[in-house]
Amino acid sequence: MCKGDYLDITRPEIYGTSFSWSTGETSEFIRVNQEGSYWVNMTFPCDNKIYTDTVFVTFFREPTTEVIASPRTAELNELISFNLANHNYSDSVFWEFQNGSTSSQTNFSRSYESSGWKYFSLSIFTADGCITILNDSVLVEFQEISIPNIFTPNGDGINDIMHIEGEYITNFELMIFDRWGSQIAELNNQYWDGKNTNGSNAADGVYFYIFTYSNIAGERVTKKGNVTLMGNRQ
């Protein structure tokens, strides 16, 4: 039988016979959901002999697979690939998504036009009629990260820092490199104000940044790019 199912084993219909099962029960049938051997002892009123019958229960092969969704956290309209690992290709599959769309393909890609957690289920069917259902989800970011490409730390209170916008940014690190690849600043949960690690003002020019943060799913996300510093205090 399929793992997770149950089987009713019924004793013979013989009048006046006494029965005892290997499980200790004396009922007309026993319900089992585990592999193993199950026997019943039968005695008759005019016969001291004990008669025994045995049923052997084994499971069919259980469908096994792992859903690999990449990326697990995506932006709006970004393609997400859905693939199966350790999958037996004699099994058939059926995907069902939160918006009602379905697919019977093993591997495919799709995108989302709205943000939030996107739930889906995968049903796997074997030739023996067994089924395994997996439930999973991916996250479409609620708000895209907005990183400025220029800022002017001249002390006028306008655009003085390299402020990164994003509602669900937490526990972030910002590393700044000059055009020769030397790291000149490293900040934890702070934005760059145009100063070097030693506290001096960085020269005007183009700098490379690596921004790493935790999103709403608790995953670490890294963004890389360039930012132009202009009009720094001298």
pLDDT score, position 93: 92
pLDDT digit string (tens) for 67-102? 999 998 888 889 999 998 888 877 899 999 988 899
Residue 109 pLDDT grade (very low, low, confident, very high; cuts 50, 70, 90): very high
Domain that holds residue 28: 7-57
pLDDT digit string (tens) for 130-148? 898 999 999 887 666 889 9
Q: Which of 84, 106, 140 is the last residue of a domain?
A: 140
CATH number, domain of 169, equals: 2.60.40.1220
Burial of 211 (0-12, 13-18, 19+ CB in 10 A): buried
Q: Are residue 79 and residue 48 in the same domain, yes or no?
A: no
Total domain count for the chain? 3
Tell me the percentage of the chain whose pLDDT exceeds 70. Answer: 96
Q: Are residue 46 and residue 11 in the same domain, yes or no?
A: yes
Tell me the percentage of the chain whose pLDDT exceeds 90. Answer: 52
Backbone CA torsion sign across 156, 157, 161, 165: negative
Check: CB of residue 168 under 8 Å from CB of residue 157. no
CATH number, domain of 101, equals: 2.60.40.10
Q: Is residue 1 part of a domain?
A: no
Q: Are residue 76 and residue 135 in the same domain, yes or no?
A: yes
Omega cis (within 30) before 63:
no
Q: Are residue 72 and residue 136 in the same domain, yes or no?
A: yes
